[in-house]
Amino acid sequence: MPKECFCTKIFQIIKILVNNVGLAYESADMLHKVDLQINADIVIVNTVGVSVLTAAVLPQMVKRNAGIIINISSGTAYMKIPYLSIYSSTKAYINHFTNILRAEYSNTNIVIQTICPFYVKTNMSKVEESFFSLIPKNFVRSALKTVGIIDETTGCIQHQIQAAAFGLPQFIQDFLMKFQTKVFAKKAAAFQREKAAKMK
Ligand SMILES: NC(=O)c1ccc[n+]([C@@H]2O[C@H](COP(=O)([O-])OP(=O)(O)OC[C@H]3O[C@@H](n4cnc5c(N)ncnc54)[C@H](OP(=O)(O)O)[C@@H]3O)[C@@H](O)[C@H]2O)c1
């Protein structure tokens, strides 16, 4: 019998687990231009924690037949966006993983939800507040209203409007994707120039 440590005791009392941890690039870029360590860190931080912590809290949730697990993914999980290859793929992993768990535990009262936000004004996104880029407090307030009601959501009406773009005809989606890729390409070039200048 393994010894009980602080962690195992904590796992036994968690009633609500929000897997919010996430790491993104300093600047979106082509895969070969991103530092290898950063690529590795993004895979590890974005997938290992959510998988292992979820597995760790489930035994007592199953026993109690109650609990809430919320996995924070991203709108990028829905898109195959150039310049975000690893980040976007790790978020697709979270969606896939959470969908499977929801089916696996469907005969329990455990709520297992995926939230896939678009831009929220945080250190990670570095975007300014706007109609579509909410501040965290407003985003969280909106997202929490969906817990236990919607299995997978962007979390707020503003992002739901953005997600509606995926229902548009393919040629419009392709156009939007090309536009977004150009924006990332420009930003990536500026970031590389800045990095090169700092190294001089
Ligand atoms: N902001 C957006 O526009 C946006 C859009 C879609 C999805 N998301 C997702 O939302 C979640 C929250 O992100 P955020 O925007 O709030 O970004 P953030 O402010 O950078 O927060 C990221 C969180 O992850 C933690 N973290 C990062 N690297 C870690 C590591 N190596 N070990 C332990 N903890 C680590 C941070 O902990 P510390 O505070 O201790 O550093 C922080 O709590 C992420 O999963 C992100 O992918 C964000």
Pocket test for ligand 1, best of 17, 87, 120 (most atoms within 8 A of CB): 120
Q: pLDDT tens for residues 128-177?
A: 999 999 999 999 999 999 999 999 999 999 999 999 988 888 998 899 99
Extents of the domains making up the chain: 6-199
Q: Give me the pLDDT at residue 5, please.
A: 76
Q: Which band of pLDDT confidence, cut at 50, 70 and 90, is reported for residue 55? A: very high
Nearest C-alpha neighbor of 162 from the set 95, 117, 115: 117
pLDDT per residue as tens digits for the range 133-143: 999 999 999 99
20 CB within 6 A, ligand 1: yes
Query: 50 burial class (0-12, 13-18, 19+ CB within 10 angstroms)?
Result: buried
- The whole model's pTM is what? 0.93
Residue whose CA lies nearest to ligand 1 atom number 36: 21
Confirm or reject: Cβ of 19 under 6 Å from ligand 1: no
Q: What is the pLDDT of residue 2?
A: 61
DSSP assigned state of 4: P
Residue 69: in which H helix or E strand, if any?
Answer: strand 68-72
The closest residue, in CA terms, to atom 24 on ligand 1 is: 21
In the 8-state DSSP scheme, what is residue 134? B
| Tens digit of each residue's pLDDT (9 = 90 or more) over 70-87 | 999 999 999 888 999 999
Alpha carbon distance 53, 11 (integer Å): 8
Evaluate: CB of 173 within 6 angstroms of ligand 1.
Answer: no
In the predicted structure, residue 24 carries a pLDDT above the cut 90: yes
User: For residue 1, is pLDDT > 60?
Assistant: no
Q: In whole angstroms, give the CA distance from residue 122 to residue 53.
A: 24
- The closest-lying atom of ligand 1 relative to the alpha carbon of residue 19 is 45
Q: Are 178 and 186 in contact (CB under 8 A)?
A: no
Distance CA 180, CA 53 (A): 34
Second-level CATH architecture of 6-199 = 3-Layer(aba) Sandwich (3.40)
> Ligand 1 pocket check: which of 17, 19, 23 to mutate, most ligand atoms within 8 Å of Cβ?
23
Atom of ligand 1 nearest to the CA of 87: 47
**Residue 123: per-residue pLDDT:** 95
Distance (angstroms) between ligand 1 centre and the Cα of 1 equals 35
Q: Which residues pair with 120 in a beta bridge?
A: 134
Nearest-angstrom CA–CA distance, 112 and 94: 12
DSSP class of residue 66 equals -
Point out the ligand 1 atom lying closest to the alpha carbon of residue 136: 16
Range of weakest confidence among 8-17, 94-103, 127-136: 8-17
Helix axis angle, 49-64 to 85-104, nearest 10°: 10
Q: At what angle do helices 36-43 and 85-104 cross, to 10 degrees?
A: 10
How many angstroms separate the CA atoms of 137 and 120, rounded? Answer: 10
Using CA positions, which residue lies closest to atom 33 of ligand 1?
A: 21
Distance CA 31, CA 128 (A): 26
State in Å: Cα 31 to ligand 1 middle.
21
